[in-house]
Amino acid sequence: MDSYQLVVIGAGPGGYVAAIRAAQLGLKVACVDRWIGKDGQPSLGGTCLNVGCIPSKALLDSSEQVHRAEHQFQAHGITVGEVRVDLATMIGRKDKIVKQLTGGISGLFKKNKVTFLAGSATLQGEGRITVTDHDGNATDVTAEHIVIATGSSPVDIRVASVDNHQIVDNSGALEFSEVPKRLGVIGAGVIGLELGSVWKRLGAEVTVLEALPDFLAAADHQVARDAAKILKGQGLDIRLGARVTATEASPEGVTVSYSTDEGDQQIEVDKLIVAVGRRPNTEGLGADKVDLKLDDRGFIEVGEGFQTSLAGVYAIGDVVAGPMLAHRASEDGVAIAELIAGQSAHVDYDLVPWVIYTWPEIAWVGKTEQALKAEGVNYRAGSFPFAANGRAHAMEEGQGFVKVLSDAESDRILGVHMIGPSVSEMISEAVVAMEFAASAEDLARTIHAHPTLSEALHEAALAVDKRALHI
């Protein structure tokens, strides 16, 4: 029976990072993962690299190129003929990127001497784990420490059973063989909006059904209002307060029944994407057998230092309550590896950045205005539109704005909210500033290169003190 100082269950962004960091710190590490790629072989990287963050961004980028060719090239003095989409090549490019990056993790495991065990892991108690490979062969290993990083899966809903043919989840939505003429999306969250945007740009008529009455309720309300206006202007038919009650698939498509305040309604679509959230992957771990405590939503309960109810067993990432984001999981992975190795570690969940990769992009960190008002916090706000930013104009990308919120007394930055071009790259400056407890004046007095999109953040910080220079 092989023994390790650490066994990590799951090789997604939390698990593989934890395994690599622990190995860097001198531990003997193994990582167990059950994912099988499109080629039928084990594939590292979990949901994020295989069917989530990476492949969806590849298709988002491809579809953005189509949109620019159709709608923006002319303004640059570029004339092209009819824009035609070779979907097979586009999907093939996406698959190639996935293959390169998942293979890269395999190379990192070899470089750092992490042992990869392909299969499913079941906890047996007292540091013992049974690993069952894809042929059904079972092997036991022991570990001084065990980290559960098994990630999450799409939530299933009874009224729209996924077959990944006509009714699909996020993975099925990345594999269409042709652009559907009519596409339905259940859920106007991050995944629904991103995938809806991909197929809208490629020619589909897209209807998004969202059960909640508010659009992007977690985002700053001003950002959400602008986002709804822009995305609807791009052709996304977003229907709020629309609760799906039934679906019926036939050779002609999918009939989706839903109810609103105006009564019962139906739409007919060729494909339907179900994107109503994600649930933690804890099935098959043997939680009941070893008394691993879960909360009422299925998340693993942890205390300080990611400690579960079992001695020497820890849990990180999507299986623990909190932001279900790849970068959160990775930071958890680094922290738990360092804690196991006897170092100090900390993850500030108040400063986790959020990004929605529509175009324009949406990004934020910290408190929203509505949260500050609800908490009775006295704050100041400054905003600046990309319409007044020189670089944005040069790019034909003048939509959106940046907003900075700071404490009215100390001027410490409490939140930064953005909608605009490439704000996924800009939000990191705000995270760093807040990590170091910066004030709005600190940002306002920091020199930003000209012309850059980041000047919008600089001007928003100036606007907190009502001294923006270019509006």
Catalytic residue list: 450
Kind plus residue range of the DSSP H or E element containing 144? strand 138-148
User: Please, is 145 exposed, middle or buried when counting C-beta atoms within 10 Å of its C-beta (0-12, 13-18, 19+)?
Assistant: buried
Quote the crossing angle between the two packed helices 326-340 and 15-24, to the nearest 10°: 30
3-class DSSP state for residue 66? helix
Check: CB of residue 143 under 8 Å from CB of residue 4. yes
Q: Is the peptide bond prior to 451 cis by the omega test (within 30 degrees of 0)?
A: yes
217: CB partners within 8 A, 6+ apart: 224
Of the candidates 30, 32, 28, which has an alpha carbon nearest to the alpha carbon of residue 9? 32
Cα 388 to Cα 120: distance, rounded to the nearest angstrom: 54
Kind plus residue range of the DSSP H or E element containing 82? none
3-class DSSP state for residue 281? coil
Check: CB of residue 167 under 8 Å from CB of residue 255. no
What is the number of other CB atoms lying within 10 angstroms of the CB of residue 15? Answer: 29
* Type of residue found at 121: A
Cα 313 to Cα 113: distance, rounded to the nearest angstrom: 22
3-class DSSP state for residue 106? helix
Check: CB of residue 410 under 8 Å from CB of residue 428. no
Check: CB of residue 222 under 8 Å from CB of residue 369. yes
* Type of residue found at 211: A
Cα 250 to Cα 270: distance, rounded to the nearest angstrom: 9
In DSSP terms, which residues pair with 220 in a beta bridge?
Answer: none
Check: CB of residue 297 under 8 Å from CB of residue 152. no
